[in-house]
Chains A and B, each alone.
Chain A
Amino acid sequence: MAASAMRPSLSMGALGRIRMMPSAPTPPINPSLTQRATLSTSAARLKRHKYAGARDNRDHSKSRGESAMRGSGTRWRLSMSDEPLPRPVPREKLPPIATDPDHGLWDFFYDRERIVNTPEEDSKHGRAWSVEELRHKSWDDLHRLWWVCVKERNRIATANFERENQKLGFGEAEAKERDKEVLKTMRAIKHVLTERFYLWEDAVELAKKDPEVNLTGEGPAFTPKDYLEEADAAETPDTNAAASPDPAAIPSSTTQAEAPRL
């Protein structure tokens, strides 16, 4: 305080000098205050300290002078313009979204137009494949039939989700019945494959004792010895059943082609 009072300054006006000049015996209690009150035109400059480490006298309030009640606005210029904001285009005016009509994801739906079949359509399905019918199918057929079942279950699950999601109402029981039939078919496929594997294991054991079969891998695997002699007598029922196992009962893939795809 004393230092700022004593330094020569332009801000000290004539009145201040006049007061200090008489060197009155009564010392001023706070000369800087009295001078500032009367003469200061730049009080903030007077308050500034010079020594190292002195606190700054800056105004730390960034929103000084802003008032919501008085509508004073912001102190700084904002980066805004008067241009009107763009409006989103309504959906009807947008160009149609191009999709692949043969995309694989379409397989998750029964129909391109509708997301869910009606319960009547859902309940129009046949019975599951029986194990006996699948016993006569090849590995490739069973493999592909398995994936057909998987796709069918995917379709059912998609419809279930949409029915729940869009609150479409009835149809859950019919979908469940349909799913159950598909699961029966899948279980039959597993049954057949497991059974076939065990059967093969047992047949290999049997073939080791069979003199007609050569399992060493050298030479022909099968050499029918007394085929002609015993074919008429003993082997007839066996070979008949083996060569053409109940052809009337087997639904081949060609006959199944006419079955409605439901």
Chain B
Amino acid sequence: MQPSRILQALQYRRLRLTTKDVNKGFYKGTRTGSMGRHTKYGGYVIEWHKVRTYVCPSLDGFKLTPFVTRKMEPTRGIYEGYKDGPKDPKLYLARWKAENGLD
């Protein structure tokens, strides 16, 4: 959407976009996705295959915390010989060959 020039001069784009700023058909959601569908009578049907279910894995014996001790500097990786560093697919393939090589 392109605001008119006067609105551009007013720094209109710095305001958040609402449904009143655009033509019809604009859906401003909450980035959360739907959990069902609307019926033609105005109701709403929950579709359970759409409803999110979060499964926490078992944390028994898991020792990591969200924090790392400050006595330790943030580590830097050593990726000598790889052009893209950690993002080099050659590194991935070489590691796969060395460690797994099965599936």
Chain A interface (Cβ within 8 Å of chain B)?
Answer: 125-130, 132-133, 135, 140-141, 143-145, 147-150, 152, 181-182, 185-186, 195, 198-200, 202-203, 205-207, 210, 212-213, 220-222, 224, 237-239, 241-243, 245-246, 249-251, 253, 256-257, 259-262
Which of the candidate stretches B23-31, B34-42, B43-51, B69-77 sits at the interface with the other chain?
B69-77
Q: How far is the CA of A257 from the CA of B65 in the complex (A)?
A: 9
The smallest beta-carbon distance between A130 and chain B, in angstroms, is 4
Least Cβ–Cβ distance between A143 and chain B, in angstroms:
6
**Contacting residues, chain A, for B59 (C-beta < 8 A):** 144, 147-148
User: Are B63 and A256 in touch, CB under 8 angstroms?
Assistant: yes
Q: Do A147 and B56 touch (CB < 8 A)?
A: yes
Can you list 9 contacts pairing A with B, beta carbon distance less than 8 Å? A132-B77, A141-B64, A148-B62, A199-B87, A238-B90, A241-B79, A249-B77, A259-B67, A261-B65
Is B68 at the interface (CB under 8 A from chain A)?
Answer: yes
Give the distance in Å from the alpha carbon of A193 to the alpha carbon of B94 in the complex.
19
Please tell me which one of the listed residues B82, B92, B97, B103 contacts residue A202 in the complex, with CB atoms under 8 A apart: B92
* Interface contacts beyond A125-B67, A222-B96, A242-B99: sample of 17 additional A-B pairs, CB < 8 Å, sorted by A: A126-B69, A140-B57, A143-B57, A144-B64, A148-B62, A148-B66, A152-B66, A182-B66, A199-B86, A199-B89, A202-B92, A241-B79, A242-B98, A251-B72, A251-B75, A259-B68, A261-B65
**Residue ID in chain B nearest A250 by CB atoms:** B75
From A127, A135, A207, A238, contact of B68 by CB (8 A): A127
- Report how far A91 CA is from B85 CA in the complex, Å: 66
Which residues from chain B contact A128 at a C-beta distance below 8 Å? 66-68
The chain B residue sitting closest to A184, CB to CB, is: B66
Is there contact, CB below 8 Å, between B99 and A200? no
CA distance A257 to B72 in the complex (A): 14
Q: Does B21 contact A (CB under 8 A)?
A: no
B102 within 8 A of A: yes
**Closest residue of A by beta carbon distance from B86:** A135
**Contacting A256 at CB < 8 Å: which of B56, B64, B77, B81?**
B64
Secondary structure dominating the interface of A? helix
- Chain B residues with CB under 8 Å of chain A are 56-57, 59, 62-70, 72, 74-82, 86-87, 89-99, 101-103
A58 to B101 Cα, complex, angstroms = 102
Q: Give CA–CA (A171, B7) in the complex, Å.
A: 43
Question: Which residues of chain B have C-beta atoms less than 8 A from A130's C-beta?
Answer: 68, 74-75
A224 contacts B97, C-beta separation under 8 Å: yes
The answer, among A207, A241, A260, for a CB contact under 8 Å with B93, is A207
Given the known inter-chain contacts A144-B62, A237-B80, A243-B99, please indicate yes or no for A185 contacting B67, CB distance below 8 A. yes
Q: Do A262 and B65 contact each other (CB < 8 Å), given the known contacts A132-B74, A221-B103, A239-B94?
A: yes
Residues of B contacting A126 in the complex (Cβ-Cβ under 8 angstroms): 65, 67-70
Q: For residue A143, which residues in chain B have a CB less than 8 angstroms away from its CB?
A: 57
**Residues of chain B within 8 A of A127, CB atoms compared:** 67-70, 74
Bound together, the chains give a CA A136 to CA B66 distance in angstroms of 16
Chain B neighbourhood of A152, CB < 8 A: 65-66
Bound: A242/B23 CA distance, A: 54
